[in-house]
Amino acid sequence: MSQRGKYIVIEGPQGVGKTTAVQKVAELLIAAGLPVKVLREPESQNDLTARAIRHLTQDPRYPMSTRTEVLLYNAARSQSLEIIRTAVNNGVYCLVDRSYLTTLAIQYYGRGDVQDYQKINEIIEFAVGDMQPDLLLVLDAPVATLRERTSSRYSGDRFDNLDEAFLERVRAGYLWEAKQRNLPVVYATGTADEVIADVWHHVEATIGQRGRTNERPKSIAEVLADSPAAKITAPVEPSSQTELPTPQDNAPHTEPQEATAQRSWLAKDSAGRLSITAAGKEVLAPLITNTEGTVYAFTENISPITAAAAMARLSRRGDDMRITLLDEFIGKADKDGQLLRRVITAYGDDSVQQLAGQHIVVENASNLLTKKLEWGRLAAYLEQSTRYIYFDERDKNDRYKYYVPEEITGSLRAEYVHAMDTIFAVYSDLVSRLTEYVRGTSTTSKKEQDAAWRAATKAQACDAIRPLLPVATKSTVGIFGSAQALENLIMDLRADDLSEARTTASNMLAELRKVSPVLFERADKPERGGATSAYYAETRQALQKLAADSLPNSLPGLSPSVTLSNFTPRNELDVIADMLYEYTDRPLQDIKTEVATWPYQKRIDVFEAYIGTRLNRRQRPGRALETMHYSWDLVCDYGIFRDLQRHRMVDDLEWQALTPRYGYEIPKLVEQAGLSDAYEKCFDVSLALYSKLQSAGLTNEAQYATLLGHKMRWKVTMNARELMHFIELRTAPQGHPGYRKLVGEMYEELKAVHPVLASAMKFINKDEDPELTRLAAERYTQSKLSQLNQTSSSKNGSR
């Protein structure tokens, strides 16, 4: 029996030089008198079965899902490995320039065709069996080098141009797999001779061993055992795309009828310019609002993802976008998820993600989680209001609406449930009694006690009693955001200390992938979203430790509710130059130098002219005010924070862990109704539960035991333009008395340092009677609803 040969694979991204390296190594092995065979994997040159399978995967007449394609590729791989096995057993040195790493690097890491890492590896493991290479070596080079080497061979394709982002992902995939599998890496950045010398060093070490090397690559199963990949539910089934460019020996095929029809949508003149035909406009009509004019919108008949991808294409194509739609997307993108993936690859994940929006709802989120869900700037949020809804109902399990953390177990869990039930029972009793008290003491005449009055009195009672609701109270949050904003939210939640947040992140990702799979493929990939979440978690943990070591907790003293901790500029009239900038042709510094010489009144005149005559709070001055910034350190109850935290055009928004240590206040209305003792009982129960959870080491989970009425500390920075909007809105009569008071104090602090800006805030309300202001707001709402109903009735009657 002849001595066994070797199975050697030289892998790496396209353009790295692996084919050249294989050829050079083959020459050196032949020169050494060894039998050599250069093969492909999957091998389609010498095996008819593998060749037939490969033709099937690359023939566009046979569309197939990515699962089907992966299965067929690995069927061809299994077939070709038997050829390699036979050759190696007969003493032949088999050289191959690709392996299963190609599938992982291109389809999983690069294009994202297959989302489930575990599943694709199971398929590969079955196909490969025990035919691991004796040497699996990875060549690597910078993306700029790869881009330069591959540009010429892909220059004719519209979407196949492998841009830097695609190559970065492929390269990262190869390097990640090399690290996980203990594979040697040769950096192919030197001269050809230097690279071949490095490769030959590894080949010599391999052929110098008898049988298989002890330093063989890890098997797929071993890699998964050491470092399991994140599993993705509901895998996507995009249309087929090959791993590598279609070979020249593809069989000729007939052009699909659909492609022939699409050609009639566009006409090309002698100069090569495209225009839309009547047939093309007919196709576009249901998809956009205007086929002729310069402004148009997409209708509900076109997929939002397709619209986003087409818009992203604007940066690389000079045609009317309607031409691009007909030429590249309509009739293709909705059927071909892979086409969308390639657009995203070519023009950037972020660019397309920013252009596609999605609604998503999170039910039964604790009031600790709701604030984490609403932390991002670039999204819109709405949640059930504790100011308008009674939280006194029980669910189908006869439990009030509160969240129980999974970390709380055993007897402590029973104590947690008992404490929550006690607090909710008191809340339910008091909110009913206080509603009766408010209505019984109302000065509104009987004939005016209408629906608006009932809503206003209910809101008054809810406002006063809501501080008793625990932070564990469950709510529903509706979110609308771009795919990018939602992905960032998911990555942030995945890094959170709370298991509730992490579980919600997984659930959100699973549901979003059902409607927009192509836009959420990277959120939990180990090298993308996974790495980002890990960065967030590791950074936070490091700072938590440093703070605990260097800044131990102190006993709370009397803290002011409002502290203006910093503001810039010190002189508010320094903003005059910014106000004038767009109206001159001079550099900003020149304007500042000139303005500094002006008398005070002249600068005041410019400031007042810039503010103008505002008729209501929605008329906001220009963006020069955004150069002025104000940093606030605030202490208020968590209920107030919940309302104010929703402002998104702010900087530096952070809050400290919730605790009972800052105390609470008893609303005046509760005292007037004689309900103070029952009210305070809830805070006693909360404190006792919080202390038990803390003693059990459940520091994060102890926050659920605090109440909305417990005070907490947070900070935020706003520019002057946002601060004007914030103060005028949050002192409006219909606002909650608690935050109206807090924001009023912020206004006084602002007025003390920047009185000119403060004087520009004309729409600030103070000291109105809560019953009258609430009633006025409800009456206004009822009036609008009545007008809408009358309009609707009028239209129905005219039909």
Sign of the CA dihedral running 103, 106, 112, 118: positive
Residues 289, 148 share a domain: no
Give the lowest-confidence range in 44-53, 244-253, 560-569: 244-253
Handedness of CA 644, 648, 651, 655 (dihedral sign): positive
Which pLDDT does position 675 carry in this prediction? 95
Give the pLDDT confidence score for residue 523 in this predicted structure: 85
* Contacts for 270 with CB less than 8 Å, ≥ 6 apart: none
Residues 368 and 285 in one domain: no
Peptide bond into 569 cis (omega under 30): yes
Looking at the predicted structure, is the pLDDT value of residue 558 above 80? no
User: Residues 630, 720: contact at Cβ < 8 Å?
Assistant: yes
Name the average pLDDT for the chain.
Answer: 83
* Per-residue tokens: 401: 């609406």
| Structure-block tokens of residue 780 | 């206004």
In this model, does residue 201 exceed pLDDT 70?
yes
Do both 498 and 597 map to the same domain? Answer: no
67 and 204 housed in the same domain: yes
**Average pLDDT over every residue of 301-328:** 84
Same domain (yes/no): 112, 143 = yes
What percentage of residues in the chain have a pLDDT greater than 70? 81
What SS3 class is residue 294?
coil
Domain count, the chain: 4
Q: What does the pLDDT read at residue 484?
A: 92
Residue 504 lies inside a defined structural domain of this protein: yes
Say whether both 337 and 397 belong to one domain.
Answer: no
Q: Which residue has better confidence, 314 or 570?
A: 570
Same-domain pairing of 59 and 148: yes
Does position 567 have pLDDT exceeding 90, yes or no? yes
Give me the pLDDT at residue 748, please: 96
Query: 459 in a domain, yes or no?
Result: yes
Domain membership of residue 348 as a residue range: 265-355
Question: Rounded distance, CA 420 to CA 403, Å?
Answer: 9
When pLDDT is cut at 50, 70 and 90, the band that residue 222 belongs to is: low
According to the model, what pLDDT value does residue 249 have? Answer: 34
Determine, yes or no, domain membership for 793.
no
pLDDT higher than 80, residue 240 = no
- CB neighbour list of residue 247: distance below 8 Å, 6 or more residues apart: 58
Residues 78, 181 within the same domain: yes
CATH number at residue 214: 3.40.50.300
Burial class (CB in 10 A: 0-12, 13-18, 19+), 450: middle
573-577 mean pLDDT: 97
Q: What is the pLDDT of residue 210?
A: 45
Pair 141, 14 in one domain: yes
Tell me if 291 is assigned to some domain.
Answer: yes
Two structure tokens written together for 510: 């699973």
Q: Are residues 378 and 500 in the same domain?
A: yes
* Distance between CA atoms of residues 287 and 439, nearest Å: 54
Q: What are 358's strand-pairing partners?
A: 481
Classify residue 141: in a domain, yes or no: yes
Question: What local confidence, expressed as pLDDT, does residue 344 receive?
Answer: 63
One-letter amino acid at 307 equals: A
Q: What token pair was written down for 81? A: 């490995």
What one-character-per-residue DSSP string does 61-73 give? Answer: TS--BHHHHHHHH
Do residues 399 and 346 share a domain? no
Among the residue ranges 78-82, 513-517, 553-557, 585-589, the one predicted with the least confidence is: 553-557
In this predicted model, what pLDDT tens digit does every residue of 386-429 receive, in sequence order? 877 888 888 888 889 999 999 999 999 999 999 999 999 999 99
Domain end, chosen from 175, 203, 226, is at 226
Higher pLDDT, 5 or 235: 5
pLDDT, tens digit (0-9, with 9 covering 90-100), for 687-729 = 999 999 999 999 999 999 999 999 999 999 999 999 999 999 9
What is the per-residue pLDDT for 247?
A: 31
Q: Is residue 654 part of a domain?
A: yes
**Better pLDDT: 244 or 208:** 208
pLDDT at residue number 778: 54
With cut-offs at 50, 70 and 90, classify the pLDDT of residue 367.
very high
* 316 burial level (CB within 10 Å; 0-12, 13-18, 19+): middle
pLDDT of 576 higher than 90:
yes
- What is the full DSSP assignment across 457-512? HHHHHHHHHGGGSBTTBEEEEEEEEEHHHHHHHHHHHHT-S-HHHHHHHHHHHHHH
> Residue 699 falls within a domain, yes or no?
yes
Taking the C-alpha atoms of residue 167 and residue 109, their distance in angstroms, rounded to an integer, is 10
Is 245 part of any domain?
Answer: no
Q: How confident is the model at residue 164 (pLDDT cuts 50, 70, 90)?
A: low
Same structural domain, 532 and 576: no
Helix and strand numbers (H, E) in the chain are 31, 14
Final residue of a structural domain among 611, 627, 643: 627
